[in-house]
Amino acid sequence: MSPNVPNNSQEQEIDLTQISKKIGDFVQDFNTFLFRCIGFFVKNVRVILILFVVGLALGLFIDQRNKNYKSEVIVAPNFGSTDYLYAKIDLLAAKVKERDTFFLKAIGILEPTKITKISIEPIVDVYSFINNSDQNFALLKLMAEDGDLKSIVKETTTSKNYTFHTITFLTKGITNNEKGIQPILNYLNTSDYYTKIQKASVINIQERIKTNQGIVSQIDGILNEFSNATAGNNQKSDKLVYYNENTQLNDVIKTKESLLTEIGNLKIKLLTSDKIIKENSTAINIENTASINGKMKLILPFLFIFIFISISFFIAFYKKQMFKAQQIAI
């Protein structure tokens, strides 16, 4: 075993020497490359500065000239018109994509060429979705057993049942409510079918409010009779037994409270039922900085410099290879 030890030591020394040499060669090559890069920038500093300034100026001009804006409208579809709303927005999106200005002008949009995109998405509100109906809670619970709850609440079939939805408009340049947004909302509220449903629903709400108010008045009458009878201490013995138990009296009071709550909700619903697609809030002309919008002043200077460097290195590489080819030919 001992005769092999010197050989192993020599082999390790040779390996370490080769590794050290390779590291030294790599450092030397890197230093050479770095020196050439510095020399290239020093040699072409004027060209690079000119390209940077030109790119910056051109980028500022493009950003100022081609400003894109985003406008958002939060709406609530009434009378089960969610699918109708999404179908109408899909149609408008297709017409905008096709640049069908004739159709867009026909529905009242005064500046159709400014609109570049229109889309809609639901405002995810699981709690309101569950509170609206026990069936919604049971359905969501059942669906969650077979899949990821996070993906289910954003799934199209589920998300269309949320109360509020956001319609987004992308425009070139600023717009205003009268020229671009209101005509689209008017178009969404033009439907003979849902107009008839709206009229019937409003009548039903008004009748329910009137009926509930009548029942509340009757309950107030009963409570007043009981109050007067108790104050005068002249109620009959059968009424003493009836009211001393308090069970039915509590039920009457709870019924009145639930009716008053329902009347309040119905009045709010009546206020929001004046349109098929009810807009809740509007935010217009928000500068759109997504993607490369508004960033050309940063992109163009470095893009011009990168193209110049690429062309210079390509020319240098071509000349070097051409020189080698000529040397081989000689």
Q: Is residue 144 part of a domain?
A: no
Same domain, residue pair 109 and 174: yes
Residue 145 lies in a domain: no
Tell me how far apart the alpha carbons of residues 24 and 16 are, in angstroms, rounded to a whole number: 12
Q: How far is CA 193 from the centre of its chain?
A: 30
Q: Is 71 left (phi over 0), alpha (psi -120 to 50) or beta?
A: beta
Rounded to a whole number of angstroms, the distance between the first and last alpha carbons of the chain is 58
Closest CA to 82 of 12, 8, 161: 161
Q: How many helices (H) and strands (E) does the chain have?
A: 13, 4
Q: What percent of the chain has pLDDT over 70?
A: 76
Beta bridge partners of 283: 72
Q: Are residues 119 and 95 in the same domain?
A: yes
What pLDDT digit, counting tens, does each position of 185-232 carry? 999 999 899 999 999 999 999 999 999 889 888 888 877 877 776 655
Residues 97 and 55 reside in one and the same domain: no
Q: How high is the pLDDT of residue 255? A: 85
> Is residue 72 domain-shared with residue 98, that is, in the same domain?
yes
Q: What percent of the chain has pLDDT over 90?
A: 16
Burial 199-213 (b: 16+ CB within 10 A, else e): eebeeebeeebeebe
Q: Do 108 and 184 fall within a single domain?
A: yes
Closest CA relative to residue 96, chosen from 171, 5, 147, 25: 171
- 1 pLDDT more than 50: no
- 17 assigned to some structural domain: yes
81 and 119 in a common domain: yes
pLDDT at 243: 46
Coil/strand/helix, residue 115: strand
Q: Write down the residue that tokens 């200077």 correspond to.
A: 301
- The arithmetic mean of pLDDT across residues 316-327, rounded, is 77
What is the amino acid identity at position 286?
I
Structure confidence at residue 250 (pLDDT) = 78
Report yes or no: 187 and 96 within 8 Å, Cβ to Cβ.
Answer: no
pLDDT at position 42 is 83
pTM across the whole model: 0.68
Alpha-carbon gap, residue 241 to 10, rounded angstroms: 114
Task: Give the Cα separation of 94 and 214 in Å (integer).
Answer: 51
Residues 56 and 83 reside in one and the same domain: no
CA–CA distance, 216 with 176 (Å, rounded to integer): 47
Q: For 74-102, what is each residue's pLDDT tens digit?
A: 999 998 888 899 999 999 999 999 888 89
Whether residue 205 contacts residue 273, with contact meaning beta carbons closer than 8 Å, is answered with yes
Please check whether residue 152 lies inside any domain of the structure: no
Residues 221 and 316 in one domain: no
Does 205 share its domain with 318?
no
E-state strands within the chain:
68-77, 115-122, 165-172, 277-287
Q: Looking at the domain assignment, is residue 91 inside a domain?
A: yes
In a domain, 228, yes or no: yes
In a domain, 142, yes or no: no
Which pLDDT score is estimated for 235?
47
- Residue 130 per-residue DSSP state: H
Range of the domain at 51: 4-63+295-329
Question: Mean pLDDT: which of 118-122, 242-246, 314-318 is highest?
Answer: 118-122
What are the contacts of 225-233 at 24+ separation with CB within 8 A? none
The predicted structure's pLDDT at residue 296: 81
Q: Which of 64-78, 165-179, 192-206, 306-320 has the highest mean pLDDT?
A: 192-206
Question: 183 and 224, same structural domain?
Answer: no
For residues 264 and 304, state if they share a domain.
no
pLDDT of residue 239 exceeding 50:
no
Asked if the structure places residue 135 within a domain, the reply is: no
Domains in the chain, number: 3
| 214 and 109 within one domain | no
Cβ proximity of 300 and 55 under 8 Å: yes
What is the model's pLDDT at position 218?
87
User: How many Å apart are CA 239 and CA 307, to the nearest integer?
Assistant: 98
Query: Which of 173, 168, 189, 163 minimizes the C-alpha distance to 73?
Result: 168
Task: Give the domain CATH number at 281.
Answer: 3.30.70
